[in-house]
Chain A
Amino acid sequence: MPIDRSKVEQKVKKAVLGILGKKIDVKDSDSFVGALGFNSLRMVSLSLALEEEFGRPLLLNDWISQCADPHALTVGSLADYIRDLLIQDE
């Protein structure tokens, strides 16, 4: 079955909102380090929340180390990364 990018994005945003504990409009371009104020510990909480959403244990270190600038770690880039992993995993 093809992986639907928008569904992946929705799940990522749901996990982010769960971590933030408040209702805001999360955008694809939002940077975890900048706009969302995530530090490395919150990234770990996010990986556990994503596991709930996708049903598989997932560590985010590979995604983080691919980026050249922490500000490029955006909601959209995470959704792309997870979509690619799910395609490979099929």
Chain B
Amino acid sequence: MSESPFQIHEKDGFVELVLNTPGSSVNIFDYAAAVQLKRIMDGLDPKEVRAVVFRSSKTGSFINGVGLLLASVVKCVDDAVKLTSVTRAAFDCVRNSSIPTIAAIEGNCYGCGVEFVLNCDYRVAADTFDTHFYMTEINDYLFIPAFGGTQNLPPLLGLEKATDFVIWGEKWTGRQAKKYGLIHRVLNHKTFDEELTCFLRKVGRKKSRIIRAVPIRRKFLEQTKQRILSLPPSYQKVYRACFDLMVSAARKSTRTPSDYKRELVESAKSVMESASKSALSFFFIRQAVRGLCLSEEKSLGNLQLLFLADNSTELNSFRKDILGRKLRENVTPQFAETGIGIKMALRFVSGMNDSAVSLYSPVYRGGMNFFEVALKEKPNEEVKDLFRFLSETGFSYVFTTPKRTFALNQWLAAYLSPLVAYCLEGGDVTTINSSLRDFGFVRRPGYLLRALHREHSSLIETLRPRLPPAYQNVSAVQIVRVLRELESDDFDMKQRDRRITDSLCLSLLGETERSLSEKTFAHPTLIDLMAREVFDFPLRLKSLCSFLTQRQVESFLKQDAELQALIPAQILSSAHQFLSRGRNYYLSA
């Protein structure tokens, strides 16, 4: 018999339901949680219970999702109705309860976690670094929310902020969530319990529910439709359907069961699309990386971090960023030359030193929260604490054991070199952007280049040997000129050149081969996560290492004569080496 997900505490007429998903470092609103919650809610007596308060006992996680097993097995609309019925019944119990319900949110609240708290009368959240709100569904998995998100968010936030949140994937802190109307109150984490008690007293036995029509600007509708058109064609259908659901919810002042049913039907249709099925597999990759980096069940203990920083302009914004994330008192970061704690070199510009641990992000200035954690040896428990700190502060990262230069520099060069060669050959950026968009890239190379540190000399040094022989002697000035051209986001609905995506994939394959053979990356999932986060490798293709199968690489090589103008011979020989091994990166069908 497995343990119960909810623990029940009763005091002074208040019932506290504390979620603690067994055997997991984060909370999941799974089947067992849904069954137990419905049973508890059905058994409460409104005459005796003043309010029900939902809490989490896991540091850094309120509810991280409903468990994607459900979405993975949906084959038709009826499956979705059947598989979600228990969860929907539990949510309905909370929404329809005559007892006031309060979500006291400490820790991240993602996807179905957000949809769950929308059924509560009140939402309060801790002002901490590890409390964020984020709708994962369409942004990470290309499907439409199934538990009321599209229907309940527009009246609460207004259509425009709801669109930013659901469709464009904005991630909000507690303060932002309060500002935009998602929650009622932000509570100081040090006095959370006292402030919560005051809030409960104030609420008394009052229920609260806002359903109202909200104004819709015609210009906003047009702008959103245009933005959806700029997405890869295979993604547009799901984005349009999701936006349509939200627009129709914004227009109505009441909500009926048929509104939620319509959302569920659209969600089921979107989950059945092949792009979504592929995107769902990225969940496994992301979690596998988490499994490689973190010790399960361990939460962040006392942690002293000593950042030995260079004097780059990014340092001040990073310091402000870290300190502004409302760290708990058990985490003390210092920016100094000496001190106690996990010492790490913090680098925003290339240049490795002898530190046992280096944090490197050449794209931080552009707002990309991604770090390469370069290590001398495999991660020990101390470094795992650093990983947990990065995870809980909302940074994405992979660990590497590079030899000479940061692995990210090699990967940036592998990504950019075929595109630079295409421009040097006389090709235009519009065709590059259109070809990448059709292939499934949402972000253009320009996004990455604008985020990249302006000091290009080390990049050019790494990039030049990856150009075909005809361009290996071009001047640095010429390469910088091409990189500037590539900053443009312009695209065209018609122009394409398949050589661009084929040579790009082969270039990334070459770097994958090198990274795994030199053991710079310990596992293909780490490469997959980096390719997704930094280069936006298309979700519809599962992941870089899943996509690069023997069959796929063979098909690229059928036209290797045409590709020689964009990639050098050593990349092609890496591809032949991969084929001669006869094995994919993952054991797969």
Contact = CB atoms under 8 A, between A and B. Distances in A.
A67 interface: yes
Contact of A44 (B23, B72, B287): B287
A4 interface: no
Given A37-B22, A61-B280, A70-B69, A86 B589 contact: no
Interface string A35-54: 00101111111011000001
Contacts of A59: 281, 284-285, 288, 546, 586, 588
Interface string B9-41: 000000000000111111010111000000000
Contacts of A86: 587
A69 B74 CA distance: 8
Contacts of A17: none
Contacts of B524: 57
Given A39-B69, A68-B79, A61 B284 contact: yes
B500 to A, nearest CB: 28
Given A41-B24, A42-B24, A88-B589, A70 B284 contact: no
Contact of A67 (B2, B73, B292, B587): B73
A48 B546 CA distance: 16
User: Interface size for chain A: under 10, 10 to 19, 20 to 34, or 35 or more residues?
Assistant: 20 to 34
A57 B586 contact: yes
Contacts of A37: 2, 22-23, 32
A26 interface: no
B523 interface: yes
Contacts of B296: 45
A43 B69 contact: yes
Interface in A1-59: 19, 21, 33, 37, 39-45, 47-48, 54, 56-59
A64 B30 CA distance: 16
A39 B29 CA distance: 10
A39 B28 contact: yes
13 contacts: A37-B2, A37-B23, A39-B24, A39-B67, A40-B68, A40-B287, A41-B26, A59-B588, A64-B73, A67-B73, A70-B70, A73-B69, A82-B587
Interface of A: 19, 21, 33, 37, 39-45, 47-48, 54, 56-62, 64-65, 67-70, 73, 82, 84-86, 88-89
In the A-B complex, list the 3 residue pairs whose CB atoms are closest, starting with the nearest: A61-B281, A44-B287, A37-B2
